[in-house]
């Protein structure tokens, strides 16, 4: 998908309260115009790159790098992604189809939350350090308006271990997520304060820090600590509990 081009299960009941930091609920959805979402481990239950690596027998090695990057222990996301991609060199592209068919599932409440936000008039943005092969499917299923993610390079039916250069660059890291959210906000006439950003890993912190409302979903400790809302139990639709 292009830089800014358009493109259910509900959560189980939980008695555990949301963790609110820096404000008091309820808020009004009318105060927001845009919601930006991470994909892997946020809207969907898997890290797609780890599942692709399983096809190459290297899931443990790749997953260890993914975990360190999401925790913020590896601070250069671009470097961590290139290291992981190098381990996928030679994987048959059919592995992508198998991951999409057999492994990709939406997190509880993802469909309900996105539907509710769309019904309230919000623009939805998907910003992912993952891959277009999967973001296209997720965006279509959830009604995303704008998408940015990385394009895997495939030659002769196999992954090269590289990415395709796009008009905005080749790797959607934390800073690119922030830029994309703000660019889409400007395009629809919204201020940063009218943006909601939802993520789980360290590379989501730049966009979360720029948004008027930041939401950590089953997130790494450093992300939970910096978010205004932390959803630690239940599904994504628990976010709706803070709005009147």
Residues involved in catalysis: 38, 40
**What is the distance between the alpha carbons of residues 19 and 103, in angstroms, rounded to a whole number?**
30
Structure tokens at 129: 């350090």
Mention every residue, 6+ apart, whose C-beta is less than 8 A from residue 175: 206
Q: Residue 65 in contact with residue 82, Cβ under 8 Å?
A: no
Q: How many CB atoms lie within 10 A of CB 96?
A: 20
Closest by Cα among 167, 159, 10, 178 to 95:
159
């Amino acid at each position: 998908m292009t830089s800014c081009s358009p493109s259910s299960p509900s959560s189980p009941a939980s008695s555990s309260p949301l963790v609110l930091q820096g404000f008091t609920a309820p808020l009004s959805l009318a105060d927001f115009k845009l919601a930006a979402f991470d994909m892997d481990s946020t809207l969907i239950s898997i890290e797609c790159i780890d599942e692709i690596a399983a096809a190459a027998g290297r899931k443990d090695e790749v997953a260890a790098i993914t975990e360190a990057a999401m925790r913020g222990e590896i601070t250069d996301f671009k470097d961590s992604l290139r290291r992981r991609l190098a381990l996928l060199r030679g994987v048959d592209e059919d592995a992508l189809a198998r991951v999409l068919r057999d492994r990709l599932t939406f997190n509880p409440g993802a469909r309900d939350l996105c539907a509710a936000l769309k019904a309230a008039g919000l623009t939805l943005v998907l910003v992912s350090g993952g891959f277009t092969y999967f973001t296209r499917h997720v965006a279509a299923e959830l009604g995303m308006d704008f998408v940015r993610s990385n394009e895997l390079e495939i030659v002769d039916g196999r992954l090269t271990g590289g990415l395709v250069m796009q008009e905005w660059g080749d790797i959607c890291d934390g800073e690119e997520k922030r830029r994309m959210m703000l660019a889409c906000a400007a395009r629809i006439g919204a201020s940063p304060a009218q943006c909601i950003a939802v993520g789980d890993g360290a590379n989501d912190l730049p966009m979360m820090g720029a948004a008027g409302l930041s939401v950590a979903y089953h997130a790494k400790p450093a992300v939970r600590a910096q978010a205004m809302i932390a959803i630690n139990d239940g599904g994504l639709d628990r976010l709706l509990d803070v709005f009147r």
